[in-house]
Structure 1
Amino acid sequence: MSDRPREAQGPLPPEGADFCWGRHPVLTLLEETPQRCLKLYVAKGAAGEAVSRALDLCREASVSFQVVDVSVLKRLSPGVNHQGLLAQVSSVALIPCESYLDRLPSKGPVLILAVDHVQDPQNLGSMIRSAEVAGAEAVLLPMRRSALPTGTVMKVSAGAALRLPLLSVTNLSRTLKLLTQDHGFWSVGLDHRADRTLWQEPLPERCVLVVGSEGTGLSPLVAKGCDDRRRIPMHGGTGSLNVAVAASIGLFEWLRGVDKSSEGL
């Protein structure tokens, strides 16, 4: 396992996550449908041709992996012969972002939701559901340190995760730059530290709405890469909103602006 990519870190999969285990099944998954592999877990000390091949396939498909103690694999997949390899799989195929961008409408209002390291599958499912109802074209999902489309996400999204394109992203800051420079989008981050409010002026018609993680909000690099940052005005003593609620407010504020524009108001 020498000369391998840097090991991905982050939380272990949530309860109810789906897995593929064993060297041959995992290799088949990575060779034939790598877009369904959310993350590969490799037991410390695992070696051999199959393990090396699995890591090579991860490099090729930009699938993150994490080396963990063998006890972690046993806990995640009790009673199975994992052979040192365990892949977390999605019930829906994620689409590599760059391969999808040319399919986006080149004119007119277009909304994309970008999720910056949201951890809770319930929140992710709720945001995907709201994004579909608000008319978003797609959702951008970083592949590291983020909740990914597990069965819980599918259920909470009420099936929206099966209908709305979910685009996998390895570097969200770079993807935002690509969307703004080459595809005419304007990225707007929801950030409670921003000077301007969400209602101060209409959101752009070609908009990437960026929401941050629970607790910490937008990461510094992503916040810096946004063309604009807006805050949602709040009263009372709570001081913050659930990230899925904040995302919904931003999504429907964009839709309200588009509807007003189309009515000529």
Structure 2
Amino acid sequence: MRRLQPGRPSEYLYGRNAVAEALRGRRRHRRLFVASGIETHGRIVALMEAARVRGIPVIVIPRSELDRMVGSVNHQGVVLETSPYPYVDFATLLDPAPESIVLLLDHLQDPQNIATLLRTAEAAGVRGVVLPERRAAGITPAVVNASAGAVEHLQITLVTNLARAVDTLREHGYWIVALEPGPNAQSLFRAPLPLPLVLLVGAEGHGLSPVLLKRADVQVIIPMLGQIESLNAAVAGSIALYEIVRRLLGQESAEKTETRG
């Protein structure tokens, strides 16, 4: 693991899951801080050993010092001083495998919603995530913690223009699927979802911008059978991702059956 060079900017990640995943991720780390009194606990011992194996100094300090570093958050007694989040270049998403899924988030601003959706994206094997550079929540330590560190294993890119990004992804073979209610929307569970695809998810309240919606090849909606009219972006996006995965796994199963036959 490469060490962060002196004078380079640092971020302070906190929470045991977030720190554990960051230690397995792509960042450059400087120091691991542990609250005195818990350094013999099983999970903490494992984190300290993982840091030492990677050549990262482990420093035991009073819990009050950790509080000072990261403020009034539940840091669980561990803080990792590391480099800023390593966004990838947009071009890394432009050579899709046949089963590739890309998630594009249209100006989501709630860190908890973003974190939940990104955790699902990582679990679902999403190829990459596209976020706008402006007017949206980025990958902050709060998002890392709320995602339980899942974002450390995702390829996330920032773009200046979402519509242009969608056009470029289509030119490279992706189908564009918009998760958005409306007169043209089909049920998520019946609509065609050809791969590779880009799933567009809009912000709370505002939904997808018209400039993105008009670029969709397929517009889908999650059927609502109860009294409420909608789900929040994180829940809706997670359901859509796993419907795509369900179909992908079903297709693979069918292909194996044909091969055996």
Normalising to structure 2: TM-score of the pair?
Answer: 0.64
Which of 201, 219, 222 is the equivalent residue of 2:209?
Answer: 219
Q: Work out whether residues 127 and 248 of structure 1, in 8 Å CA contact, stay in contact via their aligned partners in 2.
A: yes
| Other structure's SS at 1:204 match | coil
Amino acid at match of 1:120: D
Partner in structure 1 of residue 86 of structure 2: 93
The question of 1:139 aligning with 2:132 is answered no
| Other structure's SS at 2:198 match | strand
Partner in structure 1 of residue 179 of structure 2: 190
Q: Which runs of 5+ in 1 are unaligned?
A: 1-24, 30-35, 37-88
Q: Work out whether residues 189 and 223 of structure 1, in 8 Å CA contact, stay in contact via their aligned partners in 2.
A: yes
Q: Work out whether residues 191 and 220 of structure 2, in 8 Å CA contact, stay in contact via their aligned partners in 1.
A: no
How far apart, in 2, do the equivalents of 1:254 and 1:90 lie? 34
The question of 1:111 aligning with 2:90 is answered no
How far apart, in 1, do the equivalents of 2:191 and 2:250 lie? 13
Deviation at residue 262 of structure 1 after TM alignment: 0.5
Partner in structure 2 of residue 53 of structure 1: none
Which of 148, 154, 160 is the equivalent residue of 1:164?
Answer: 154
How far apart, in 2, do the equivalents of 1:144 and 1:227 lie? 26
How far apart, in 2, do the equivalents of 1:238 and 1:192 lie? 14
How far apart, in 2, do the equivalents of 1:174 and 1:197 lie? 27
The question of 1:237 aligning with 2:230 is answered no
How far apart, in 2, do the equivalents of 1:112 and 1:205 lie? 10
Partner in structure 2 of residue 55 of structure 1: none
Which of 238, 243, 248 is the equivalent residue of 2:238?
Answer: 248
Deviation at residue 256 of structure 1 after TM alignment: 0.4
How far apart, in 1, do the equivalents of 2:83 and 2:218 lie? 33
Q: Work out whether residues 142 and 172 of structure 1, in 8 Å CA contact, stay in contact via their aligned partners in 2.
A: yes
Partner in structure 2 of residue 259 of structure 1: 249
Deviation at residue 261 of structure 1 after TM alignment: 0.4
Deviation at residue 136 of structure 1 after TM alignment: 0.4
How far apart, in 2, do the equivalents of 1:96 and 1:221 lie? 23
Amino acid at match of 2:121: A
Which of 176, 185, 204 is the equivalent residue of 2:194?
Answer: 204
Amino acid at match of 1:207: L
Give 1 or 2 for the bigger CA radius of gyration.
2
| Other structure's SS at 2:214 match | helix
Matched-pair identity in %: 41
Deviation at residue 222 of structure 1 after TM alignment: 1.0
Deviation at residue 90 of structure 1 after TM alignment: 8.0
Q: Work out whether residues 202 and 254 of structure 1, in 8 Å CA contact, stay in contact via their aligned partners in 2.
A: no
How far apart, in 2, do the equivalents of 1:264 and 1:122 lie? 37
How far apart, in 2, do the equivalents of 1:258 and 1:237 lie? 31
Deviation at residue 139 of structure 1 after TM alignment: 0.7
How far apart, in 2, do the equivalents of 1:224 and 1:202 lie? 17
Q: Work out whether residues 95 and 166 of structure 1, in 8 Å CA contact, stay in contact via their aligned partners in 2.
A: yes
| Other structure's SS at 2:116 match | helix
